[in-house]
Structure formats: C-alpha cells, structure tokens
Amino acid sequence: MSRIAEYRQVAPQGTVDIIERLAERVRGRRLLHVSGSRLGGGSAEVLRATVPILGDLGIDTRWEITGGDPAYYATVRALQAALEGGERVLTEDGLERYLAMNRVSARKLDLEADLVLAHDVPPASLVEARAGGRWIWRCHFDCSGAQHGAWAFFRPLVERFDAAVFSLPQYAHRLGVPAFILHPSIDPLSDRNRELTPREMQTVLAALRVPQDKPLLLQVGPFTRGHDPLGVVNAYRLVKKHHDVRLVLAGTAEDDGESLEILANLRDAAQEDRDILILELPVDAHVQLNALQRAAMIVLQKSVHEGFDLGPAEAMWKGKPVIGGATGGVAQQILHEVTGYIVRSVEGAAFRIRHLLNNREQIPRMGAAGREHARRAFLITRHLLDYLALMVHLAP
Amino acid sequence: MRTATNPFVFTGCVELRQALDVHALDERELLDRLREVPIDSIFFHTHGYFLRHRPFTTAWGNDFARWAAVEVRDQVLAERLAVVDPFAVETLDDLREELALIIDGHLRGLGAVVRLPFARGFHFQQSRLVEVPLGPSAISLREFRDGLAAVDASAIYLHMVHARARRGRGSSDFAEWLRTSLGLPALADRIARLDAYLTTLERVRGRLLNLVDGALEEEGE
C-alpha cells in the first residue's frame, strides 16, 4: 500500500482522490525543499512526512540542508530572533558570514528544480544563486514586527523570490511579491498523534507517574513566558477550590535564565500541591505527549505569544476540548464555543474549565467537533493539497 | 433510463489563499478598505467563508461579521453584517455596496471606534481556486446521485456557490445540467431554490441528495 493510501482512513472523504488527481497534473516535476535542519518538530516534522508521500505520488521531491560554521549558526539565530521582533545586535561581519556560507552551500547543493521552497532564515540567501524554476520563501514565524535593521538586510533577499508563504496573514511583512497563506499541520499517523492501545497508554502513563484517578487538565509546551505555564497554574488553583482535578504541565525548559526561573516557580508550586505535575520531557517524547493528550479531560494552550503552536490541533484530533489564549495561531485553530474556548485571562481560563467540568456532557460533543475540525483543516493531507496547488499554480 | 446529452464532470477545488497587505484596525478602516480592495477579496470573505467553515454551522456567515463579533466585540455591527445573504445579492459589486452601507450607517451612530492591535485587525485576503476534475462523470440521474454522494465537499462548493457567484451563472452547475442536459426542469428548479446560506456544505449535499432521491423515485428508479 502506498503511503498516501494509508491516509484514506483519517482524511476527509474525497481528499486523497483530489491529492492523487492534482499530483497527476504535476507528475515528474521537481520539487526541492531547503531548510536548516532535518531534526525537531514543526516544519521539519511536516517535511519528514510529506517528502516521501510526494515522491510516491510521482513528484521528484528532494530535501536539502544548509549549514555552516558556529559563526553562521549564531548569525542565523540572531537574525531569526530579530525578524521575530527581538532586540539583537547584528554585525556586518556576521551577516557577511551568513551570506558567504550559503554561497558555499549553493555550490555544493543541487538547486535545480521546478519549484524550490526555502524554509525560514537559514537557506533564504541561496536565492542569490537561483538559476531556473520558481522560488518560494516559506516563513514559519511571525515577521510582521521585525526589527528595522534586520528587515532592511533581509527584505531584498525575500524580494528575489517569486512568492512568500506565511502561516497567517498577520504574520506577513510588507513585500513586493505575492504572499500566500498556508496553515501548518499535524501528521495523524505519527507517534505524536496515532491511535494508542489501552496497554500503551497504561504503560506510558505509569512510566510518567501520572495517576488516572482524577480528571486531568493538561498543557503541553515549553516552560516559557510566551506559553504562560504560571498562568495555567493560577487558573488551576481557581478551579481546584471547586473540583478535585489534577494539572499536568509537560514540556521542555529552554536554557535561558527566564525559562529556568519559570521552571523553578513551577516546581515550587508542585511542591505545595501534589496534584500539580511538572514533566520535563525530551523533544522527541512524542508517544508520551500523545498519551498525556489522550488521557486529559481538557487541554489548555494558554499562550500569550503570537506563534502558531499546533497543540490545539493535536488535542482536537484526540477529541479533546481546548481552552486557548486569544493569540495568533492558537485562536485560529479553536472554534470558540464549538471546539473549545478562546480566553484572554487566567480568570477566563478558570471560568471555562469550571463550565466544562460542571457540564460534562459538553466535553465529548466539543471533542467530536474538534476532531472533525482538525481532520478538515490541520492534517498533513490538507498541507499536501496546498503544496500541490502551489505547484499547479506556480510551476504548471 | 434517461441519459444526458453531455456528461456531468464533478470538479473539486483547492483554495490557495493570498494575503493582500491591506489591514483594518478599526471599523472605520474596515469601511475604507472594503471600498478599495479587489472584488476577489469581497468574494473570499463572504462566499468563501462557506468553503472554509464547511464542517460546521457558519455562525457568522461571513468574515466581516465574525471579526466585528470576535475581535471588535461590536455585537450590533456583527448582527447587521451577518444577515447579509451573499446568495441573494446579484453581483459582487452590489454585495460590496450593501456591506459598506451597513458599516457606514453603523459608524454614524458611534461616537468613537475601538482601535485594535495589529494582530487582531482585519487582514484582507483573496484566493485562487485550483480546480480538480474528479472522475467518473455522470450521464444519468443515478450516476449523478452516486457521484454527488461520494465527491469531496469542495465540489459542492464549486458547483453550487462558486458557479453562481463567480462565474455569473444564474443557477448552480447542478441545476443547469439537470435542466439542459438531462431534461429535468422541475428538479433543476427545486435545486435552484435550495437555500445554501448559513448552513454547511455537508448539509447542502444532504438536501441535494434528498431532492435527487425524490426525483429518482418519481422516475421509477
């Protein structure tokens, strides 16, 4: 069975047929993705899933990686942070190093393709070496508030592409090329999202030492201010006065002082209340996070930053109502009062949690609506349709 | 069995969204930008709403009403915009004018407008539909029924909504084919009267199937 056939059981009716029909129209075309890494979640996770499927569908699909020395990586990190609006010092030497290392990559890599998608900052300046085909800059972050100096350097590069692709219209910066909008997606057959057997669930939850004797509230995400885990603890405390529930905060700590301080505060809270569990997990703990999401009664994503975390889509796919912050991609994923609630405060989150706990018949109904919403809007089958439609449109 | 002079080819679609770099951060700007944007953008934010919200009841009917309700939290304007039925307006220019008149009238009664941060503004978009023929084609009412039941919901949108509003057809592709190729004007009229506003594409499919099943029964099939 081909890889795409495996998605018939999870994709909306007729979607795989449309994927196959579109693929016929661009069969034999060369599609090249270039990014900074094959590892991690987000865009790399989507590429790991979609590149082999597109190959199976007859599209000559490759995925190349750019790289360089430590100075190159330092500049890439600083440039990306500045494009996301952070205050960074960008030196001329560093920016020149970024361009020079990508010129070396351009000589090493085979950049010949009908459509080239350069993902985020690392490969963007490869566009200087473009020979043929159409080139698209795929931006996975919010660059609408980019620092002036960083954008002044980067914009001329982006405008050498034929188009740009952003995750939301408000993430785009003013450009002289068309800006398309593609939401990120989740792979329903990956370890992070596939069905788990009851035995797998039991084994994983036991290993994580998460008892299942109380309703579970869950937030998955880095222990950073942007994901507001302390706000989630405060919302839980308001709920705990009325309901005997347990809170699990699962994620990773970044190695900066702010994140470590938040983690220390969370551990203090967990010391005082045994129903608060802080699980620091490695980035590849996909099955563990899958099991936690499936075990939860209500999932929170109380982000206060403007990124496009796919936590709500993952939870909705597992049939859970999601209470999320009114920011960027989180608010985009939740259909308010249909698949969950969009909230703007700690009190708002607590109110909605209590409402659901007091009206439990709504939980499976919202969960079912969330699963259908995720099926239609946030699975990689929709992402494949988008990629193929882009190819048909830009490289027919 | 009645057969058509021309087969019906079901066609699905994929929507490629494009940001316009046109933004409104308050209701007054919404009015100004609404009057300036390409007509494709008006189509995207009204008729296109049905394609994007296909699994669920479309609570606000169009993106403008949803923005007024969810971001500006101006329920009065949201309600006034929500009742604009894009299927009942003859042209997209007329639709633009009707939306603009509603916002203009509403603004006259407001002392001040609420200014939103950029992230919560109204971000105008438009889209390109990439059409995808889906086989097999139908030459009888039975084959039409089978195809209708199985195709991706985007085909319902393309033939029922897009054909009428964007291609300037008075009726849907379905009604047109049933009338001119299959010689079933009564069924075509019933389908042309079908109200697709404020419902989902799956419910529209269900209603279409009911009408076709009724006609098959009348035909003795």
User: How does pLDDT run across A16-71, given as a tens digit for each residue?
Assistant: 999 999 999 999 999 999 999 888 767 788 899 899 999 999 999 999 999 889 99
pLDDT band at residue B54 under the 50/70/90 scheme: low
**Orientation of helix A346-358 relative to helix A229-240, angle to 10°:** 40
* Interface contact flag, B119 A386, Cβ < 8 Å: no
Q: Map tokens 């099991």 to a residue.
A: A291
* Interface contact flag, A144 B134, Cβ < 8 Å: no
A7 close to B (CB below 8 A): no
Given this model, what pLDDT does residue B56 score? 61
Given this model, what pLDDT does residue B110 score? 87
Q: How far apart are CA A325 and CA A334, in angstroms?
A: 10
Q: How high is the mean pLDDT of chain A? A: 93
What domains appear along chain A, each with residue ranges and CATH number? 3-185+379-394 (3.40.50.2000), 198-377 (3.40.50.2000)
* Interface contact flag, A392 B130, Cβ < 8 Å: yes
pLDDT band at residue B111 under the 50/70/90 scheme: confident
Q: Are strands A134-138 and A322-325 parallel, antiparallel or unpaired?
A: unpaired
Whether the CB-CB separation of A66 and A123 falls below 8 Å is answered with yes
A21 close to B (CB below 8 A): yes
pLDDT band at residue A294 under the 50/70/90 scheme: very high
Given this model, what pLDDT does residue B32 score? 97
Give bridge partners of residue A343 from the DSSP assignment.
A325
* Nearest residue in B to A307, CA atom: B119
pLDDT band at residue B144 under the 50/70/90 scheme: very high
User: How does pLDDT run across B160-193, given as a tens digit for each residue?
Assistant: 888 887 766 667 899 999 999 999 999 999 998 8
Q: Which residues have C-beta within 8 Å of that of residue A297, sequence separation ≥ 6?
A: A215, A216, A217, A245, A320, A356, A357, A363
* Nearest residue in B to A327, CA atom: B119
Residue B219 has pLDDT above 90, yes or no: no
Given this model, what pLDDT does residue B6 score? 92
* Interface contact flag, A393 B16, Cβ < 8 Å: yes
Residue A86 has pLDDT above 90, yes or no: no
Chain A residues near residue B120 by CB distance under 8 angstroms? 326
A355 close to B (CB below 8 A): no
Chain A residues near residue B56 by CB distance under 8 angstroms? 335, 338, 369, 372-373
Average pLDDT over residues A359-371: 96
Q: Which residues have C-beta within 8 Å of that of residue A241, sequence separation ≥ 6?
A: none
Residue A243 has pLDDT above 80, yes or no: yes
In angstroms, the separation between the Cα of residue A284 and the nearest Cα of chain B is 31
User: How does pLDDT run across A254-266, given as a tens digit for each residue?
Assistant: 777 888 899 999 9
Nearest residue, CB atoms, A181 vs list B19, B150, B151: B19
Given this model, what pLDDT does residue B55 score? 57
Given this model, what pLDDT does residue A284 score? 86
A175 close to B (CB below 8 A): yes
* Interface contact flag, A18 B14, Cβ < 8 Å: yes
Average pLDDT over residues A390-396: 88
Q: What is the DSSP string of A82-148?
A: HHTT------HHHHHHHHHHHHHHHHHS----SEEEEESSTTGGGGGG--SSEEEEE--S--TT--H
Given this model, what pLDDT does residue A303 score? 85
Please list, residue by residue across A7-22, b when 16 or more beta carbons sit within 10 angstroms of its beta carbon and e when fewer do.
Answer: beebbbebbbbbbbbb
Share of chain A above pLDDT 90, in %: 80
Average pLDDT over residues B94-110: 95
Residue A1 has pLDDT above 70, yes or no: no
